[in-house]
Structure 1
Amino acid sequence: MTVTSPSPLDASRLKLEWTKHPKPTPGPDSPEVLSMKAATDHMITVSWTSARGWDDPKLTPYGPIPVMPSAKAFHYATEAFEGMKVYRGDDGKLRLLRPIYNCNRMLASAARISLPSFEPEELRKLIRKLCEIEAPKWLPKNQGGSNLYIRPSIIGTDDSLGTSAPEEALLYIFIIHWPTPKTNAPPLRLLSNPETAARAWPGGTGAAKIGANYGPTIQMLTEAKSLGYDQVLWLFGPDREITEAGAANFFVIWRTAEGALQMVTPPLGGDQTILAGGTRRSILELSRKMFSADRSDEVASEAESCEVVERKITMTEVAQAAEDNRVQTAFVTGTAYWLQPVSEILFNGKTVASPVGQIPHMVLLREKLNNIVYGREPSPWVEVVDENRDLRCIQ
């Protein structure tokens, strides 16, 4: 008797089924785009079972997926996802920013909620393939400086209501239009949460990109928006430790008591309360090169040198620094927000003001990252996606 091991995820086995009903492409920032429902024509799906492993990946028309009402994803939140973008460069080329980082993070998120393992490199190949197929129509070469949002997801689909690891799962990838972040948009106003609410806590799932971390925050976000704020600055514990701003990482640039300029962001650490943002990582690496005392970056020469520190920050510290006129600027980073300045934070009933435009550091970082993703300067962080093959000839 021959015993076969479960099949691994294999992007080379992708099967293609083309849509018979192509959709029209929406205009930039049209109502359809602003609704965040404007998906491209196709998606990729891959089924998994504990017995067989991963089936052949399939390119299919974008549409509903068959999932039973008792599927574990609906009842026990066994679902993880990623957020990334594909960028159309000024030179017409298509680029991804550090895609393997997102694929590794999705694997870690899936493992945290007992979803099946996969090879991140194979997921990266599938993401590239979907971009290769969809981008010529949905992100054409004459739209340099634009991007589309990619959402890889994995859910537990077996229909047993038992609280056990899923025996069946579905991995799928789709692409949608995303509203373009405006460089001249008003700065963000943040509302800090009360001690009776928390986004994440030590030993929890805050470091994983799973739906269970997002749904419970919507109530507080709705309250913040009703009061005229844009997002919630999530604090934790009696010392009001800063974690995240909505689904974005938080940075503050201030002067120390000795007068030195310092950029600070909360650490990832071992307490598992903060998601390891890909944009966060890029900003930290860029900042350490661009703003070091011995920097060689001519563009950043206009900016004062700045120490970059990852450490725990309390909102009380930020409020005191603002009162002492030591806060120079604050901003958030993320795939959706990119880099957006913060003008004020409501904390304990008082407004903590953060200057906008007082120093050039955030603007320089945003320009640098834009130059990288849109091909204006070379970087090992980006991957160019091939669009030359006629994939409709492949069956």
Structure 2
Amino acid sequence: MGQQIAFHKADQLKVKPDPEHLGFGRHFTDYMLEMDYSVDDGWHDARIVPYGPITLQPAATVFHYGQEVFEGMKAYRAEDGRILLFRPEMNMRRMNQSCARLNIPAIDEAFVTEAIMKLVDIEKDWIPSKPGQSLYIRPFIIGTESFLGVHPAESYKLIVILSPVGAYFGDTVNPVKIYVEDEYVRAVRGGIGFAKTGGNYAASLKAQSKAEELGFDQVLWLDGVEHKYVEEVGSMNIFFKVDGEVWTPALNGSILPGVTRDSVIRLLQHWGVPVKEKKISVKKLFKKAEKQKLEEVFGTGTAAVISPVGFLKWEDRLIRVGNGEIGPLSKKLYETLTGIQTGRLEDELGWMQEVSSEETAVAD
């Protein structure tokens, strides 16, 4: 894979959206990154091109056999003007783990990170600066070979698109209501639950609609075999503060290894807060709640960062967590992570990478 990145300038740039009404994933920047893969050439032809439609054959692998992976990252504008990425090496490492499971050729993690940084640098004027805002980065890979038959494609396309976003759940960090799903199954050990691929999210849509009809924001999945043990929320990993300890489900092959999840565990350890990765019985959690020992519940993810949980419903039981508001530990984690990400707090753990303006793209 060569180290040059071609840059194809757009004839006309877009009008940027109102920063007061960004929402999440609704607006897209002027440019995107593309690369192609073939058996003969490997990953090649890295280029930054105007954002727009892509052309695929109707028999492309991605449409029929779901050969696809993606990632979610963010770029932040610090108060001193620097542009920062949060632990991008972990996203690239996880993307290759997903690729391995979906039988997609591995990417050069360092080069794709460099290419993403160049794209972000070109689009830096799109990065919003109000609290809770950022530039969402969505890399994805799709199988493009045109054939009908169940075997891995021989050609692929990597694309990275950017979207200026506000806070995932709105302007304030309000606790969400979680519905514990005990009918449908999202993933099982040995499957693709740990990979970041569209099939996992497609499997969650029916239960998510059911939860929303019942007045809940998100679904908390149980294990797919016994339906007894907590796994993750549809768009987040999950944590419980129980009697002074923090618990989170252990990675078991059906849970996404979240970047924010890992960061929270490391922060808690750094602070000396007891944290355990373990099998967590939903029945045990509700018993702890009855004894007033379930102190806080929160989800973690790139989009929401920290999302406190105010209510949990399982079968015919509904519990309120704490006083239904964000707990002190959840608040501290949110303020610390967002403070590090935006450069307001010292990056003691060395997580942030600065986007430089060095000329690495070659204009056409």
**TM-score normalised by structure 1 residue count:** 0.87
Change (3 A) 1:238 1:29: farther
CA shift for structure 1 position 183: 6.3
Q: Residue 68 of structure 1 is aligned with which of 49, 57, 63?
A: 57
Written as runs of structure 1 = structure 2, the 5 A alignment for 1:25-174 is 25-30=16-21, 33-34=22-23, 36-135=25-124, 137-139=125-127, 146-174=133-161
Aligned partners of 2:300 and 2:259: how far apart in 1? 9
CA shift for structure 1 position 352: 2.2
Aligned partners of 1:358 and 1:151: how far apart in 2? 29
Change (3 A) 1:61 1:239: closer
Deviations 1:90-127 (A, max 9, x none): 11110000001000100110111111112111111111
Aligned partners of 2:141 and 2:248: how far apart in 1? 30
Q: Give the aligned CA root-mean-square deviation in angstroms.
A: 1.8
Aligned partners of 2:109 and 2:200: how far apart in 1? 22
- Which range moved further: 335-344 or 142-151? 142-151
Corresponding residue of 2:242: 254
Q: How many residues align?
A: 359
Deviations 1:1-27 (A, max 9, x none): xxxxxxx3x4x2211101112111101
- Which range moved further: 103-112 or 35-44? 35-44
Corresponding residue of 1:13: 4
Aligned AA (1:114): N
Deviations 1:47-82 (A, max 9, x none): 111122122201110011111110010111100000
Aligned partners of 2:72 and 2:24: how far apart in 1? 17
Give the match's secondary structure for 1:177: strand
Aligned AA (1:13): Q
Q: Residue 261 of structure 2 is aligned with which of 269, 280, 290?
A: 280
Aligned AA (2:135): L
Aligned partners of 1:264 and 1:83: how far apart in 2? 24
Aligned partners of 2:99 and 2:172: how far apart in 1? 37
Corresponding residue of 2:232: 244
Indicate yes or no: 2:316 matched with 1:349.
yes
Change (3 A) 1:393 1:50: closer
CA shift for structure 1 position 394: 4.1
Give the match's secondary structure for 2:45: coil
Give the match's secondary structure for 1:65: coil
CA shift for structure 1 position 390: 7.0
Corresponding residue of 1:225: 212
Indicate yes or no: 2:351 matched with 1:381.
yes
CA shift for structure 1 position 337: 1.5
Corresponding residue of 1:3: none
Kindly name which structure, 1 or 2, has the bigger radius of gyration based on alpha carbons: 1
Identity of aligned residues (%): 32
Deviations 1:293-341 (A, max 9, x none): xxxxxxxxxxxxx311110111111100001110111000001111011
**TM-score normalised by structure 2 residue count:** 0.94
Corresponding residue of 2:249: 266
Q: Residue 308 of structure 1 is aligned with which of 241, 258, 275?
A: 275
Corresponding residue of 2:187: 200
Q: Residue 363 of structure 1 is aligned with which of 318, 331, 337?
A: 331
Please, which runs of 5 or more residues in structure 1 have no aligned partner? 1-7, 256-260, 293-305
Aligned partners of 2:94 and 2:172: how far apart in 1? 31
CA shift for structure 1 position 393: 7.7
Q: RCO higher in 1 or 2 (8 Å CA, sep ≥ 6)?
A: 2
Aligned AA (1:368): T
Give the match's secondary structure for 1:342: strand
